[in-house]
A and B are shown apart, each in its own frame.
Chain A
Amino acid sequence: MVVALVMVLVIAASLVFHFVGPWRATPIASNWGFIDDTMALTFWITGAGFVAVVLFVAYCLYRFGHRPGRRAAYEPENQKLEAWLSAVTTIAVVVLLAPGLLVWAQYITPPDGAAEVEAVGVQWSWSFRLPGADNKLGASDVRFIDASNSLGVVPSDSRGQDDLVVTNGELHLPVDKPVKVLLRSIDVLHDFYVPQIRAKMDLVPGLVSYFWFTPTKIGEYEILCAAFCGTGHPQMRGKLVVENEADYAKWLQAQQTFEQTRKSDAGGEMRASN
């Protein structure tokens, strides 16, 4: 009796917490609303299952508690019931999985014409590289990293000379333009994580990974690292600024090309602008 009541209360408290609590997903600022939708679908299906099972158990506890003289029924199995339950569960799983896989197919397929941006992680800061006038990123290799080439751009690659190198941890993107983020690490695992964007992916030393999204809301967002990378992990922050086309163009103008950073060299002072 008491046990059954507590089970019902656990369910009730959980539902109240879910629907009344202030802790919900950060408002989305990208095209990945489908991810939120799939999660909502998962909540309703699995939540219904959880409530149904616990309430059924609570009912049994209430109804079939021991009383003197009671004897349990004897029913080793009921294949028809088991077949039904298998079928219903399988259908529920398919309903969860099918939309999930469709959205995943989109997630791993950047649209044609997505702008390419490179994000580079190092313990414990973010840098970025954008293609210059030729719209192509030059090759990179950690072997070329030195004081004036912190991202390891291959100096002999002509495509890399006009690449814009951003080392202050601040990435600007134009709103409503799809972007494919190429991810590279020069030391340990990192993970490019902006909660409002929903998308994320690891940076792995030795290879280039990627993900894509379209920022849909003008604003400033924090970039966190979501793969443990040593004691400075929580301090590894960057800033994502989503802005309109004009502001973005202004920001682009102010960035230095790889060629320019090589010339300004050791002093490290930023040239005002051109």
Chain B
Amino acid sequence: MTDTTARPSDAIPPAETPEMELFHSHGFWTSYVFCQDAKVIAIQYAGTAIAIGLVALVMSWVIRLQLAFPGAFAFIDAQVYYQSVTMHGMIMVVYMLTAIFLGGFGNYLIPLMVGARDMVFPFVNMLSYWIYLLATLVLAASYFVPGGPTGAGWTLYPPQAILSGTPGHEYGIILMLVSLVLFIVGFTMGGLNYVVTVLQARTRGMTLMRMPLTVWGILAAAVMALLAFPGLFVAGVMLLLDRTLGTSFFMPAIVEFGEHKAYSGGSPILFQHLFWFFGHPEVYIVALPAFGVVSDLISVHARKNIFGYRMMVWAIVAIGVLSMVVWGHHMYVSGMDPLFGFFFAVTTLAIAVPTALKVYNWSLTLWRADIHFTTAMLFALGFLVTFVNGGITGLYLGNVIVDVPLSATLFVVAHFHMVMGVAPVLVIFGAIYHWFPKMTGRLMDETLGKIHFWITFLGAYAVFFPMHYLGVLGMPRRFYEMGQTTFVPDSANTLNIFITVVAIVVGFAQAIFFYNLFKSLKSGRPSGGNPWRAASLEWQTPETPPGHGNWGPELPVVYRWAYAYSVPGAKEDYLPQNAPPIEGEHSP
């Protein structure tokens, strides 16, 4: 419950956090490469995630060029197309979004926001990054083996994933599965760290109900990931055994191109259950940190406390719990017992309630606010529009019977890109514009930032909003070419060309962001320690960028929640969490 005590002296619980012993490095290698400082690990994670994400961006162009101009590019054959679809999807969901939110923002922000010196297990934290890097390299290596990477679709459904009709069934699929297993091992090390740090290493006065929502989002996502990734882990190991040793976990008796295979008795649907037991929580593993970050961006730049903080926290917890029991909505037409449809439709639509409440509270935070249209704020607003748009189409796909005609069409592609592609990526950009000054001591260029925002937001909306209509029309996804199909009118192809052109423009426009990033790193305006005049703890460090150990000799003491903006009676329009209480203050 919120600590609503009126007497400030009561708000300071006894110091419980013992000082940490930190490994202080002296050389280049231990300072910048094999470094145990969460802030450096965060930047390593984010840099790797963005680098592999750019590979995925290039693959999306391959996909779009083929869909708009089928056959026009000789280098895009069916094999290359399906390999691009698969790698684009897997990289974006796992190696980019999961890694950057938890490994990147989680590592950077958790210790600073809760007032810790570092993660509680710095060495394990470092190991987590290096295993993640290894997983990424193994994945990339699949481009250099005979047959190339797997083209099984990011869902890797057996039996096709390991049979000869699918590209990369020779070695690509093996490397993909090994890479996923490594990723999960690395992630588990990081995930345990995030959870234990939030629960055990908060500074004096930082009660759970005073934490910024960013920390709540990351905490909930890390807990969910620790519960959900094992599903993918076992599915990956079992599929690997089916592929290499000829076991039959997921393989029934089948005849492949006229040849009887030795498999028998396995269940392809079992794989789908395991995959989506991971796969659906995965959506929220990406979304919850984004929810948290966007709450903080809106609150800081609107100079107003986040509306309904307690409701926001409980909504995160409710979404986290519910998201563990909705995976079957990916399998309505999978051939599983159709009675499951009733259960999963109810749980799936139930999750809409806490999610909608979050949207209302973000919107209501803007009511009677003092809104500064910074680049970070614009990205947060862009998130709000794309997330609501992508969220409502989830109500189509979650309602089992409405899903039947839409499943496996471009409607699904449009939905999940809007809700877990565009929306979280906008948050990532907003977060980088917002926290870049803390990481570097310099501001990013706001004019370039705004140009970047408008092209990215309007462009991404123009890519994915019309795509829903191709799905309603009935155009299936994962089609290398439509060929002559009577129900598809010429206008559909025109729309596909439009989408492709916009997508390529949006992709190239990201160069503006990278130019801004590197230019600001070298010559950006000095920001000082707290350029946004934010209340949360990470902006109150004695040095910017914060040094190793974050806080100098004394850990900060926290007197209030992270949202003390425009408090009546206060001189400034914000009260830092660690500023001593003012006369008559009633801050939670």
Contact = CB atoms under 8 A, between A and B. Distances in A.
Interface in B324-354: 333-335, 338-339, 341-342, 345-346, 349-350, 352-353
A232 B82 CA distance: 11
A232 B368 contact: no
Contacts of A142: 253-255, 260
Interface stretch (B162-170, B507-515, B540-548): B162-170
A53 interface: yes
A104 B342 contact: yes
Interface in B550-585: 563, 565-568, 573
Interface stretch (A90-98, A165-173, A244-252): A90-98
In the complex, which of the residues A35, A232, A234 has the most CB atoms of chain B within 10 Å of its own CB atom? A234
A131 B51 CA distance: 58
Contacts of A204: 268-269, 334-335
B61 interface: no
B319 to A, nearest CB: 14
B373 A3 contact: yes
B345 A97 contact: yes
Interface residues of A, number: 99
A22 interface: yes
A230 B487 contact: no
Interface stretch (B36-44, B230-238, B402-410, B441-449): B402-410
B335 A207 contact: yes
Contacts of A126: none
Interface residues on B, range: 35 or more
Contacts of A53: 359-360, 363, 384, 388
Contact of B167 (A38, A64, A183, A231): A231
A202 B159 contact: no
B472 A86 contact: no
Contacts of B388: 49-50, 53-54
A196 interface: yes
B68 to A, nearest CB: 15
B528 interface: no
Given A75-B307, A93-B350, A206-B252, A101 B371 contact: no
A64 B335 contact: no
Contacts of A72: 302-304, 368-370, 565-566, 573
Given A64-B366, A230-B163, A233-B478, A93 B311 contact: no
Nearest to B466: A17
Interface string B123-153: 0000000000000000000000000000111
29 contacts: A17-B466, A23-B492, A25-B473, A34-B401, A38-B401, A39-B396, A46-B395, A46-B396, A49-B388, A56-B363, A61-B373, A64-B368, A65-B371, A65-B373, A71-B573, A72-B370, A73-B369, A74-B304, A75-B305, A86-B357, A107-B401, A108-B341, A183-B335, A199-B404, A206-B267, A206-B268, A209-B335, A222-B485, A230-B165
Interface of A: 3, 6-7, 10, 14, 17-18, 21-26, 32, 34-35, 38-39, 42, 45-47, 49-50, 53-54, 56-57, 60-61, 64-66, 70-78, 81-82, 85-86, 89-90, 93, 96-97, 100-101, 103-105, 107-108, 122-124, 141-143, 145, 152, 183, 186-189, 191, 193, 195-196, 198-207, 209, 221-222, 224, 226-235
Given A60-B363, A72-B565, A207-B269, 20 more contacts: A17-B465, A24-B472, A25-B472, A35-B404, A38-B402, A42-B396, A46-B393, A60-B369, A60-B371, A64-B302, A65-B373, A72-B573, A124-B165, A187-B257, A188-B159, A189-B160, A195-B487, A198-B404, A230-B160, A231-B151
Interface of B: 78-79, 82, 151-153, 157, 159-160, 163, 165-167, 252-257, 260, 265-269, 302-305, 307-311, 333-335, 338-339, 341-342, 345-346, 349-350, 352-353, 356-357, 359-361, 363-364, 366-373, 378, 381, 384-385, 388-389, 392-393, 395-396, 399-402, 404-409, 454, 458, 461, 465-466, 469-470, 472-474, 476, 478-483, 485-487, 489, 491-492, 495, 563, 565-568, 573, 588
